[in-house]
Amino acid sequence: MRLRRLHVFNAPTNVDYWDDGKNKAIFNRVADKCYLPTNKLLLELIEKHDGRFKVAFSLSGTFVEQAQKYRPDVIESFAKLAATGCVEFLSETYYHSLAGLWDNPEEYIEQIREHRELMLKLFNVEPRVFRNTELIYDNRIAKVVEGLGYEAIMTEGTEKILGWRSPNFLYKPSGGSRLKVMLKNYRLSDDVAFRFGNGSWNEYPLTADKYATWLSQAEGQVVNLFMDYETFGEHNWRESGIFEFLRHLPGEVLKHPHMDFATPSEIVSRHEPVGDIEVPHAISWADSERDVSAWLHNEMQHQCFNDLRDLAPSVKALKDPEITHAWRLLQTSDHLYYCCTKWMSDGDIHTYFSPYDSPYQAFINYSNAIQDLKRKVALRLEQQRQRGAALAASR
């Protein structure tokens, strides 16, 4: 969701910080290049392979809101996929937020609940598997998620937590937890998500049969391929051959008798964890560090993160749905991602995603929104207090 260009001067009269024009244009573009054609292809593949091809999705609440507003046909196409029985939907925070990193898990739990309600309403499903924003995970998050009744959680299969061990197995959080952890095989996932279209990669071009062979050579219980859906059609354009690759992939994989496709729930039912993972410091699937530095590396990011978090008591006290919704939308991790200054000395992978000229511009715009929200919350709380006082006085 793109923020409008906000200035200290023309402060908006309400908390509408969003650039509807831009959001609509972007959503339309990605719907036409990615969501619709890929969903259609997946539907064809599921039918072609008689239900042996399986896929899982995690759709954020903000994604769904935009689809409902701009492209309801996208929702319909996901509903069709849901009806096949071969597609599983996961749980995440409604707002794709970093609330999981807050000390107080209350807000985090509420956002997860809001998302559950959405999945039930939309697809009549109750997800059993959880996936946090950007696969951010640590011991505490695992505890909270287990407490909510989920059977499994997904995160990044980084050496930081695995050591020499393979990500192709199920693990569980240390300390007698019943939660099962599915780890992304980042090498094989990134081969498709990042390297597929790179002409200077030594394995270019990646064909479905070559990739299926690699998959067949992997040892373990499961190979988890997690990636942004926009990989298909948006990051990798149609001309790159990504749709052809996807079209042939299930067939090539199923040629190997020891391999098949399964949904996360199926994996969780079939296998038991082979070991513990201990994650005191949060990991994620972002950047080479695979930690949370993409969002919380510099002071500017910390300031925004803290400001939003510290607004929680006031927002809860206000009980104003419009303010609460705006506050939560501002928590979407993208806004902090654009304020990252890490990459500036190295390369510019972050700039591909950022609509701003510089992370400083991003911070200024984001800050303007947050400060404005703070002011409005204070204002409305004061109004409420006055109204309450007037009411009490009139009795």
Partner 1 sequence: MIGWEFPPFLAGGLGIHCLELTTELSRKGVQIDFYMPHMASIEGNRRVADHHKHLRIIEVEADPEVLIQGGPYGGGGRQRGRGYEANFNDAVMQYNERLLNAFDSYDADVIHCHDWITVPAAVELKHRTGKPLVFTVHSTEYDRSAGFFPQNWIINLERLGIHEADAVIAVSGYTRDQLVERFRGDASKIFPIHNGVNYDKLPASVTKDYNKSNRTVLFLSRVSRQKGPIFFMEAARKVLDVDPSVRFIMAGKGEMLPEMIQFAVRNNMMDRMSFTGYVTDAEAFSLFQNSDVYVLPSVSEPFGISILEAMTSGIPTITSKTTGVGEALNHVLKAHYWDTWEMADMILRLLDSRALREELGRNGAREARKFTWDRCASATLDVYRWTADQARRRNNRALPASVSA
List residues near partner 1 by CB under 8 A: 7-9, 298-300, 302-303, 341, 344, 357-358, 360-361, 363-364, 367-368, 371
Closest CA to 292 of 158, 152, 143: 158
Examine the residue annotation and report whether 134 is marked as an active-site residue of this protein.
yes
Q: Is 98 or 304 the residue whose CB approaches partner 1 more closely?
A: 304
Structure tokens at 73: 């046909």
Q: How far is the CB of 102 from partner 1 (least distance, A)?
A: 19
Q: Is 11 or 389 the residue whose CB approaches partner 1 more closely?
A: 11
- Assess contact for 281 and 140: CB atoms under 8 A: no
Beta-sheet pairing, 87-89 with 55-57 = parallel
Report CA-CA distances (Å) from 101 to 92, 201, 331, 394: 14, 36, 12, 45
- Residue corresponding to tokens 């209350």: 106
Q: Is 8 or 378 the residue whose CB approaches partner 1 more closely?
A: 8
Catalytic residue selected from 92, 134, 156, 234: 134
Closest CA to 155 of 138, 169, 177, 178: 138
Beta-sheet pairing, 170-173 with 152-156 = unpaired
290: left (phi over 0), alpha (psi -120 to 50) or beta: left
d(CA 115, CA 176): 28
Q: How far is the CB of 108 from partner 1 (least distance, A)?
A: 24
Q: How far is the CB of 349 from partner 1 (least distance, A)?
A: 15
Q: How far is the CB of 103 from partner 1 (least distance, A)?
A: 21
Q: How far is the CB of 330 from partner 1 (least distance, A)?
A: 16
d(CA 220, CA 131): 22
Catalytic positions are 134
